[in-house]
Chain A
Amino acid sequence: MQYSQTVGVQTYHFKDLKDVLAKATPSRSGDYLAGVAAQTNAERMAAKMCLADIPLSQFLQELVIPYESDEVSRLIIDTHDAAAFSAISHLTVGGLRNWLLSDAADTETLTCVAPGITPEMAAAVSKLMRNQDLILVARKCRVVTAFRDTIGLKGRMSTRLQPNHPTDDPRGIAASIVDGLLYGSGDAVIGINPATDSIPALTDLYHLVDEVISEYGIPTQSCVLTHVTNQIQVMERGAPVDLVFQSIAGTEKANQSFGINLEILREAREAALSLKRGTAGDNVMYFETGQGTALSANAHFGVDQQTCEARAYAIARRYAPLLSNTVVGFIGPEYLYNGKQIIRAGLEDHFCGKLLGVPIGCDVCYTNHADADQDDMDNLMTLLGAAEVTFIMGIPGADDIMLNYQSTSFHDALYLRNVLGLKPAPEFEQWLSAMNISDSTGRVRPVTPTHRLLKSLPGKLQAA
């Protein structure tokens, strides 16, 4: 297929489908770094016009990365559901945008069509959508998962409690967990990024969180975000593993740079399923992604970073995760330069994930070398709340003292729940009420020193 677009007297030529996709992408530093971005604003708009006229069926003929050389491409094609696709197979990319925004595309229809949409189709249509379009359509999509509680129901927004500590000190981690629980945080997962790679130390962390969850009967799950091969090892040694975590990216070569492939993910999932630790469901995986990861591993093959990111969601949905998290501003200014680019990317990722059927949440975040601040995070979290994002992070004071970046705080989640009327997962909501953490209206109560969590846990920690 030839790709060109004439606007007025000017004709723009594009090499191939991935060139159109890259040049149609809203401006961001990572695509300039990769040398794939449009050179002028006019060229970008011409690429969008060209993209709007491309039939969706073309995406099944022309792969952005060849089938033969990339297992992610093979996964996308081999698991494509032609029957689900038939409802939209006659559309162009521009036609898909119109259809998604129409009343015909209701929640049920979108759920049925999801297996027929490839990541490249989702990325393509997102490039033609304004922020409000991304919010409106994502809000109509519904992806419900469960382990010990149920994530992703209408009107709910969950939080990952992230109690990181720079040296994995168990008392420091436990103190952050208690603080978060008292703010009603942690229904998506209590997930620790460990400083260590050491198997014995990792095993201790699993036991620490498991004890807190068991002691208070919390309807949530734990995760330690170490390499998947470490998690397979600790499961072999009998550690109480709820969710298996792994960072994933949209190309085989990028995943290779993480030291993983699809077979390792399958093996890890099987191991976690065999433990049968879920009570409400068996979604045992937790994935993290982020625009720019493929490029940072020099494994993008000329594909723009947002399309690479959407391809990672094909991996995520294959392994039925409880949660998938786009860590949107973590990677740094060479990929997303400022607040505007981070906000746009967060909305794109959430939209693409939901459209593809992934239970996607967002680490609304930035680093100290990016041109962004807490006001930008307020904007993005509010927009994602309106889009009914599956979950966001809960970090003490929004400051992760282990990973050195800023995200969203326990207070931020309360703000969103307050302004938008969002509630935590139903099982967790009941637990908060039973523990006297929230009142009958769901508002978090003032903390008293006599609260059960405060009275019993610090004593145990002192003894530790």
Chain B
Amino acid sequence: MRQFTQARIALGRTGSSLPTEEVLQFGYAHAMAQDAVHLPLDVDALCASLHAADFPTLRVNSRAGDRGTYLLRPDLGRRLEAESVAALQAAKPEKPLDLLLVVGDGLSSLAIQKHALPMLEAIRRIAPQDWQIGPVVVASQARVALGDEVGEALGARLVAILIGERPGLSSPDSLGMYLTYEPRVGRHNAERNCISNVRTEGLSYATAAHKLLWLAQEGLRLKLTGVDLKDESDMILIAPPAEIKQLP
């Protein structure tokens, strides 16, 4: 049965307890995951690889100055430091952006190092040609809601933040994407749509990009995101050709 899932099934038992080997394997995985939380994101290297792929970038920081503060004060991770706000306002384009892409370290810098670039490329590949996307904003010590302030400062109709999810024992590198219509400080989580588990063993870049763009187009059409925007992208995939044409 193990071929069907990465879950820790069929571990065996001694009495009703775990065998020694499994206790040690679990302990090692936990040690790795705890270490991963504290690895800083190499922003220089990330920006260099984004530039090489023709993505212009802007760098911002949250108000959480270090990892310890970030873990205990999520409120600081949701707000931009003053210099970053000024930098974004100075870079605000005249025409509003249709979809702004933000990359934030979140709780796994490993997820960003591995998946941010290929995920962005997959999104760019199928985004409508006439959309204004703008620069990729790379945010350090970022929480999901930091995307709201970034999107507000740059004047975006939609913001999608790509962020490192809390690492699991079997998945220290899982990426999440959160889409918010008319981002501004104070948006609720119920006003976002989430696509999670983007990683090699999880959701593929192509599928995740398809879902994001479907939600983005529906979001612009309905002028909202969140619980009132249901992900029916699967239905569109099997819909008659006439309806498929409306997709990019």
Tell me the smallest distance from the CB of A174 to a CB of chain B, in Å.
7
Whether A169 touches B5, Cβ cut-off 8 Å, given contacts A227-B227, A411-B13, is: yes
Interface residues of B (CB under 8 A from A): 1-2, 4-11, 13, 15-18, 22, 26-27, 29-30, 33-34, 36-37, 71-75, 107, 165-171, 174, 188-190, 193-194, 196-197, 199, 201-203, 226-228, 230-235
**Residue of A with least CB distance to B211:** A198
Q: Which residue of A lies closest to B9 (CB)?
A: A179
Residues on the A chain within 8 Å of B169, using CB = 368, 399, 401, 404, 406
Instruction: List the 4 closest pairs (A to B, CB-CB), nearest first.
Output: A397-B8, A404-B168, A172-B5, A414-B16
In the bound assembly, the distance between CA atoms of A171 and B1 in angstroms comes to 9
Contact, CB under 8 Å: A400 / B72: no
Give the contacting residue for B197; candidates A195, A258, A337; CB below 8 A.
Answer: A195
A339 at the interface (CB under 8 A from B): no
Q: Which residues of A contact B29 (CB under 8 A)?
A: 399
State in angstroms the CA–CA spacing of A406 and B170 once bound together: 11
Give the complex CA separation of A402 and B196 in angstroms.
9
CB-nearest residue of chain A to B11: A397
**Looking at chain A, what size class is its interface with the partner chain?**
35 or more
User: Would you call A169 and B4 a contact (CB within 8 A)?
Assistant: yes
Q: Is the C-beta of A69 less than 8 angstroms from some C-beta in chain B? A: no
- Known contacts A166-B201, A368-B33; is-contact A374 B75 (Cβ 8 Å): no
Distance to closest chain B CB from A164 (angstroms)? 8
Contact present for B234 and A200 (CB under 8 Å): yes
A404–B203 CB distance below 8 A: no
A225 to chain B, nearest CB (A): 14
A297 and B4 contact, Cβ closer than 8 Å, known pairs A399-B29, A400-B168, A405-B168: no
A79 contacts B by Cβ under 8 Å: no
On chain B, the residues within 8 Å of A171 by CB distance are: 4-5
- A414 to B107 Cα, complex, angstroms: 33
Contact yes or no, B72 A175, CB < 8 A: no
Shortest C-beta distance, B215 to chain A (Å), equals: 9
Q: A164-B7, A197-B194, A258-B190 are in contact. List 8 more A-B contacts (CB 8 A).
A: A166-B197, A198-B234, A230-B230, A334-B74, A405-B166, A414-B16, A415-B16, A443-B16
What residues on A are CB-neighbors of B27 within 8 Å?
A: 374
Given contacts A167-B203, A399-B169, A400-B168, contact A172 B7 (CB under 8 A): yes
Chain A interface residues toward B at CB < 8 A = 29, 32-33, 163-167, 169, 171-176, 178-179, 195-201, 227, 229-230, 233, 256-259, 296-297, 332-334, 337, 367-369, 373-374, 396-406, 409, 411, 414-415, 418, 443-444, 454, 458, 461
Q: Is the CB of B36 within 8 A of A368?
A: yes
From B17, B72, B171, give the contact of A401 (CB < 8 A): B171
Q: Which residues of A contact B16 (CB under 8 A)?
A: 411, 414-415, 418, 443-444
Which residues of A sit under 8 angstroms from B11, Cβ to Cβ? 396-397, 411
Measured CB to CB, the closest approach of chain B to A27, in angstroms, equals 13
A196 to B46, CA, bound (A): 29
CB-based contact A374/B170 at 8 Å: no
Answer whether A175 and B227 are a contact pair too, CB < 8 Å, given A200-B235, A201-B234, A400-B168: no
| Residue of A400, A404, A415 most packed against chain B (CB within 10 A) | A404
Contact pick for A368, options B2, B34, B232, CB 8 Å: B34
Considering the chains assembled together, what is the distance between the CA atoms of A51 and B199 in angstroms? 50
Q: For A454, what are the chain B residues with a Cβ–Cβ distance below 8 Å? A: 1
Q: Name the CB-closest residue of A to B67.
A: A369
Partner of A411, one of B17, B165, B202: B17
B residues within 8 A CB of A367?
166
Contact of B168 among A174, A198, A399 (CB under 8 A): A399
Are the C-beta atoms of B10 and A399 separated by less than 8 Å?
no
Q: Within the complex, what minimum Cβ distance (angstroms) separates A392 from chain B?
A: 15
List, in ascending order, chain A residues with CB within 8 A of B15's CB: 418
| Chain A, Cβ-Cβ closest to B29 | A399
Residue of B nearest to A369 (CB): B37
Of the candidates A172, A196, A201, A409, the one whose C-beta lies within 8 Å of that of B4 is A172
Please give, as numbers and ranges, the residues of chain B lying within 8 Å of A257 by CB-CB distance: 188-190
Q: CB within 8 A of B37: which of A167, A233, A368, A401?
A: A368
A461 to B174, CA, bound (A): 27
A166 neighbours in B (Cβ, 8 Å): 6, 171, 174, 197, 199, 201-203
A-B residue pairs in contact (CB < 8 Å), sample of 22: A29-B72, A33-B72, A166-B201, A171-B5, A175-B4, A175-B7, A195-B197, A198-B231, A198-B233, A256-B190, A259-B188, A259-B190, A297-B189, A369-B37, A374-B27, A396-B5, A397-B8, A399-B8, A401-B5, A401-B170, A405-B166, A414-B17
Asked whether B71 lies within 8 Å of A404 as measured between CB atoms, the reply is no
Question: With a CB–CB cut-off of 8 A, which chain A residues contact B174?
Answer: 166, 404
